[in-house]
Amino acid sequence: KKYICHSTGKRNHKTIKQACPFSMKVRATVDGQRLFIREMCVSHNHQISEVDFRLHPKQRKLDIDSQEEIANLLSFEPDKKLLRDKLMQI
């Protein structure tokens, strides 16, 4: 049999877009040394939670030291299950 891939290469994922009205516009001073808030709307249409923030994809990235440690471990071609267990400890 000939294998035919029907995948688009994109994973199913849930969107986190909320159409939240929060916004902040900042400007630099004329000398470029400081920023000042020009306009701000602090209302949200969703619950604000530090736990939710930490689970946001942009916040789940590993720090540089962890990335280097993982790259070093991968260079030894380790057992994938052992590597996964090690990563869970980080």
Q: 55 vs 10, 24, 34, 75, CA distance in Å?
A: 20, 23, 32, 29
User: For residue 90, what pLDDT is reported?
Assistant: 66
Model pLDDT for residues 27-67, shown as the tens digit of each residue: 999 999 999 999 999 999 888 888 888 777 777 778 888 88
Judge whether residue 24 has pLDDT over 90: yes
Rounded to an integer, what distance in angstroms lies between the CA atom of residue 11 and that of residue 85? 24
Strands (E), 1-90: 23-28, 35-41
